[in-house]
Amino acid sequence: MADFTSTVSGIATSVVGLVKALIVMFVFVNIIYSTGFDPIGGIVDLVESFLDGGFSGLLALLIFVSWAA
């Protein structure tokens, strides 16, 4: 049972790491290349949408920031 738990934990850690890397890569690609998107404006709009959500938006923002750290 311990092997199963460690395998599932390892897979979950890998998936979370992959999602973090994809998010960071997407932001940096939009900063480096002119794709028509405004990454800084997009980040500002994203943070504002979290803050407009009240307490639940603040909690979601904290989770989002913890993924990026």
Residue for token pair 């998936």: 15
Name the pLDDT band for 49 (thresholds 50, 70, 90): confident
Model confidence over 1-40: pLDDT tens digits? 778 888 999 999 999 999 999 888 877 776 566 566 666 7
Q: What is the model's pTM?
A: 0.47
Could you give phi then psi for residue 51, rounded to 5 degrees?
-70, -30
d(CA 30, CA 14): 24
Range of the domain at 8: 2-68
